[in-house]
Structure 1
């Protein structure tokens, strides 16, 4: 039995839609995330013996007709189509699934991802041609559904599934447990080698080309806006063993000579200090720190000792979500940090020789023009390597969405999450700040941050020291020049 996994086409005429970004869009920086969760599910099914086809339409900027043609050529005999989704593209994703069903009426359509997981009944009711929705982490849901279809077993026995019964009614099975032994899940890198082209994907903070992997799932933090822990993976940070992480680094070094950097996309790679130290020791012991540099998401509670070990092991950049430089706002969004921790984090990173890509978010509960200005002043003072400024974008299934929706701060439908050209749109207006004021502030903050003598000189110095960083800077400048200078 064949399974066809698809990252569906969406707004290809405008660019590459990064569906798995935490805020899915066509980014000004040209970013395109690997469809990692779809990759892991496909690799799991293939490991079990299923024949698979994998199509990443955004990576090749395929439109709907082109993608359907590829399906006709490569997967016309597929019995199950697994479609990745996102909130901004959900109506298009459902329409694409229905189009497959029209051409292949005997096939089954399964939607996966954060949006249908959070809104399963609503999603199923949009179009009767959609057969299933997987809720939460879906690797084994896809596998167990495929087994049930292959062996003519009862769909009602597949945990984590919302499905359309023979009489047209929509039913939900018992929720599936989160996967605890992540070493059972196949590595992403060999699958990427077989099915994808690393040059199609861009992570703006990394040297190009880079490769993305996950070494764990879930996040112990409870930030009210963060999508993946609240909807897919939960707050229990489940870990691959250090040996498994080493195995993937080795594979990348041996099989991807063109790859310059590994992006560890865990929500919080540094949550378990002992494990981080063990991984770093293994990378150093196997000389992989000399072959591959890497970056990761790292919360503000890591200490200087850990940062120094990471630097020695090949890490060159860390990505924290500072979000705000106001303690009350940080408390409101359940960030689990404070301004003192942020100050110490920046100081320690400087001592360890690690660069920082700082993430700032405005529009949260308690935000005012004054608190936004305070955050900007702190960002300018920190002088991190790069910084991003975005309005809060509340996604269904998150506490932030419930807060904004219940207070009437967001309106419209899911199409409103993006501009016509696929770039992010601010859908949030609070009594203190309108959507336009939030957007204008972020544009102003980017200009203030990047167009100043210190930053220009900083980039020149970094580029002279590191040719890969110079390439990254030039590409970033070219992609962002319109949004920064206009």
Structure 2
């Protein structure tokens, strides 16, 4: 097969969400695009919220690769149809978390799915196609083979990820001058990865499943070179460290932070971490000195029953103590909360947001419990999904039937919690304390929260129109009323049990 030109497409998210006002590509897209370029292919990437897709250019491709979130699957399917209508023989590849988990379902729309990390897998797929080789020897893929679906064993997780993503492969990436950012109410963020994997086992989190529990490290020299490259390219000082848990290896974190300090890097960093970081005050001091000023922490709840159910290995008392220690070092906390578990009630949700206010957490991000409609779903039973289309599975919309409240109630409680936390009273509290920066950011977040409330308004009406028969007079879920497989768009739920694909027979392990 002739393969010279490879195009990557990442469709735009359909609704207002946490990152609506941020300009950055999904991290994996430029990484895999760069590795594909380095393998000798002519590469162009389109990240739709950064720049428009040039369809004339796409049609000149030899292979088109899509990065798809669940919420962008409808648009991805439309785009694939657009390509296939013109070039029906064009090979289409889909990767990303959705494709990895729901691979049987995703294969209805493409020729090949890259599961989990694509760093090594996609270049090997392209070389195999190019040389008319045998795909059954490529680990980590699912694909069509003469009317049958074949799925090879998972590829071991990548150990060497020293590549510095070439952001100029992304069409329009440099076409965001400051006036345009201001006019469109956008903010440019640079992404940085220093490690992969997370050793924890939170019941709701997809990260260990996709990136493994082993903690893999990128070299400090390569990280520093990446930071300097990005700052020189666009001049932005705002960096989001996308590691699942930046401070797992404390000594290594200290070595990296000391190097950042030695290099006199001027930036504003945010990183993901957990409450355990508070046990090491030397590390906290280095985070502050290295200008990683905000810690994005998965707090999830201030209810011990909820924390136990989510397998967070933390307690309300421990959280309060840790947060006090962290804030004593002048660090800000962006607390992430998962709402609607089987231990949650309306009262526990309200108590959690009140605790966040009392503890004086700087910012919050609120998510309804989520997951994928799998036959063996680890988080939400498949018959409790309430998801008529993929586009609502984006971390904003309630898409399942909670145990102790109606889904419309949960959606309203999340909206009201945002309104309370970012409302005028809490903004004024910060301004009166002299924390002008946080006060101004809360004003901006209040606008962002208003967008989310507006975006979910129609959804709440839909939920109210269909949820009633599943709940008793006390708003408790009547599980006997649930349909066998819930309401969801997956024709083939993500499980190896789904062996009855139309026009196919699944063969595990290649030939």
Same-fold call, TM cutoff 0.5: yes
What secondary structure does 1:53 align onto? strand
Give the aligned length: 445
Of 96, 101, 105, the match for 2:79? 96
* 1:136 matched to 2:116: yes
SS in 2 for 1:359: strand
Asked if 1:41 corresponds to 2:36, the answer is no
The match for 1:229 is 208
Alignment equivalent of 1:411, drawn from 364, 386, 403? 386
C-alpha separation in 1, matches of 2:70 and 2:112? 17
Shift of 1:472: 4.5
Say whether the 8 Å CA contact 1:213–1:262 is kept in structure 2.
Answer: yes
Kept in 2: contact 1:280–1:313 (CA 8 A): yes
8, 22, 46: which one aligns with 1:5: 8
Structure 2 unaligned residues grouped into runs of 5+: 458-511
| Secondary structure of 1:6 counterpart | strand
Partner of 2:218: 240
1:255: how far off? 3.1
Partner of 2:466: none
State which of 243, 262, 266 in structure 2 corresponds to 1:266. 243
- Aligned-partner SS, 1:98: helix
Q: Structure 1 residue 151: deviation in Å? A: 1.5
Q: From 426, 449, 467, give the equivalent of 2:421.
A: 449
- 2:314 matches 1:337: yes
1:428 is aligned, of 400, 404, 417, to: 400
1:117 aligned counterpart, secondary structure: helix
Which residue matches 2:147?
Answer: 168
CA distance in 1, matches of 2:105, 2:307: 32
Taking the aligned partners of 1:480 and 1:371, their CA distance within structure 2 comes to 21
Measure how far apart 1:423 and its partner are: 8.7
Q: Displacement, 1:162?
A: 0.6
For the Cα contact (< 8 Å) 1:158–1:173, is it kept in 2? yes
TM-score calculated relative to the size of structure 1? 0.83
Structure 1 runs, 4 residues or longer, greater than 6 Å off: 192-195
Deviation of 1:113 (Å) = 0.8
**Alpha carbons 2:427, 2:443 under 8 Å: kept:** no
| Shift of residue 194, structure 1, vs aligned partner | 8.1
Are the structure 2 counterparts of residues 158 and 90 from structure 1 closer, same or farther at C-alpha, using a change threshold of 3 Å? same
> RMSD in angstroms over aligned alpha carbons?
2.9
Q: What residue in structure 1 maps to residue 498 of structure 2?
A: none
CA pair 98-437 structure 1, distance change in 2 beyond 3 A:
same
C-alpha change, 1:453 and 1:474, in structure 2 (3 Å) is: closer
Residues 450 and 456 in structure 1, CA contact (< 8 A), matched pair in contact too: no
Query: What's the TM-score, normalizing by structure 2?
Result: 0.80
Distance of aligned partners of 1:52 and 1:277 in 2 relative to their CA distance in 1, 3 Å threshold: same
1:43 Cα deviation after fit: 0.7
Q: Which has the larger radius of gyration?
A: 2
Secondary structure of 1:360's partner?
strand
Does structure 2 conserve the Cα–Cα contact (< 8 Å) formed by 1:326 and 1:375? Answer: yes
